[in-house]
Structure 1
Amino acid sequence: MKLGMPALIEYDYFARNVELCRKLSLDFIELNMNLPYCDLNKITAFVQNNGEMMDGIGITIHLPEEIDIASFHKTIRSGFLKFIKETIDISRELRASVLNLHAHPGIYFTLPGGKAWVNEKNDGEFIKIFSDSLAELNGYAKNSVCKICFENIGINKYALDCFQEIKKYDSLYYTWDIGHDASSGYQVSDFMMNNISRVAHMHLHDFDGKKDHNPLYSGNVDINKYIGLASSAPRDMSVVIEVKTEDSLKESVNKIRALGVF
């Protein structure tokens, strides 16, 4: 198991993340491509020019959150797929091990009786689009050491169907986001446990019953359980402590070390 940190929004430069990663003796940094300083051309130049500073620090990549490979607008979908492929190409230069993207549950309309999900109403159409996009990415990923991992965010029937569809493609993997899972009542836990050999990446953060992305051991998630799962998984799993501030990250790492669980 490798333990890492996310790029932080409170920083303006990638170098500050590298300094904190080394100070906390973590293994890697997950770039967030929604942050301007995580532009991959800038990061590639930084890595090439700061080899000694980056020595021993790996990289994973979190794709922009707006990407939806099941968009029924062909032009938008094609643009997203092209962007993902370009990112895979750049990831080779960075030696990135994971390319993380959200498995979107889709768009909903708020009605008097609750939410009406567009993707669920048109499930067959969207699943076919999603599957066609998966096939295209699966073919491209076969030539890459960077694993494409789909992350659970909001969960509905359509999202669960999408996770089942991913199983059909042997070069695609899962990111198990523990905080998201907790906030949705652990709706993907059984699926992830039954497919643990395909879980290559984990986002670990706590949930207090109201909000997630809290420091580890501050909520009701059994953190030790999931660290144990990641440590004993059949493949070498990377685990991001996905809290959002420097203080929360330090608190989480210090607690893990004090408890001796990693």
Structure 2
Amino acid sequence: MNAVAYADTVLEAIKFAKELEIPVLNMHMAEGVHFTLPDKKVYLFDEYEERYMAYLKKFRDVCDKAIRGNNIKICIENTDGYKNYMLDGIKLLLENSSRLIHMHIHDAKGEKNHLVLGSGEINLKERFKVAKDNGCRCVIETKTVDALEKSVEYLKTHELI
């Protein structure tokens, strides 16, 4: 992934967010280029973490400058897992803020994600408590309208909303 193109895309999204008064932009942490060797995958961001972190700091600062004076938050998508360099990057990005403000919530069981709430193994009561304690908004992630409707019904019947 071209880092300049990624940054330009985020800056363009910030521009639109300002114009349309969109309060939250959600992004994924890019794994970057990797090479598959016989015994492992080698990620360039991991091999050149110092350079990665320096660029990520510049990216954060450019985004902060672009957002300044507007109530826009950039959030990092929670995924199945992060590489160590990504975790370090998230810490760097959060140096200016310690608040959880937005999260995507779904249920999961084993390898299956985005299940109807209440049909998997995730402790939803605990997750919603974290959200409530932090004053954060939640987006229910499902794959179908039916699953979304069932999830909302689950939240109502279990008094989670």
TM-score normalised per structure 2: 0.89
Partner of 1:102: 28
Q: How does 1:1-262 map to 2 (within 5 A)?
A: 76-153=2-79, 154-170=81-97, 197-233=98-134, 236-262=135-161
Say if 1:141 and 1:148, in contact at 8 Å, map to a contact too: no
Change (3 A) 1:162 1:152: farther
User: Alignment identity in percent?
Assistant: 29
Q: Please, which runs of 5 or more residues in structure 1 have no aligned partner?
A: 1-70, 171-196
Query: Deviations 1:135-165 (Å, cap 9, x if unpaired)?
Result: 1111112222121112233411111110111
Q: Please, which runs of 5 or more residues in structure 2 have no aligned partner?
A: none
Deviation beyond 3 Å, 4+ runs, structure 1: none
Paired with 1:208 and 1:128, the residues of 2 have a C-alpha distance of 37
Partner of 1:12: none
Instruction: Give 1:210's aligned amino acid.
Output: E
Say if 2:78 and 2:104, in contact at 8 Å, map to a contact too: no
Change (3 A) 1:143 1:212: same
* RMSD (Å) for aligned C-alpha atoms: 1.8
C-alpha displacement of 1:222: 0.3
**What secondary structure sits across from 1:91 in the alignment?**
helix
Partner of 1:26: none
C-alpha displacement of 1:167: 2.4
Instruction: Give 1:135's aligned amino acid.
Output: D
Paired with 1:82 and 1:105, the residues of 2 have a C-alpha distance of 18
C-alpha displacement of 1:241: 0.3
Aligned residue pair count? 160
Paired with 2:67 and 2:119, the residues of 1 have a C-alpha distance of 37
TM-score normalised per structure 1: 0.57
C-alpha displacement of 1:110: 2.5
Change (3 A) 1:108 1:207: farther
Query: Deviations 1:24-59 (Å, cap 9, x if unpaired)?
Result: xxxxxxxxxxxxxxxxxxxxxxxxxxxxxxxxxxxx
Paired with 1:101 and 1:86, the residues of 2 have a C-alpha distance of 13
Paired with 2:87 and 2:31, the residues of 1 have a C-alpha distance of 9
C-alpha displacement of 1:118: 1.9
Partner of 1:56: none
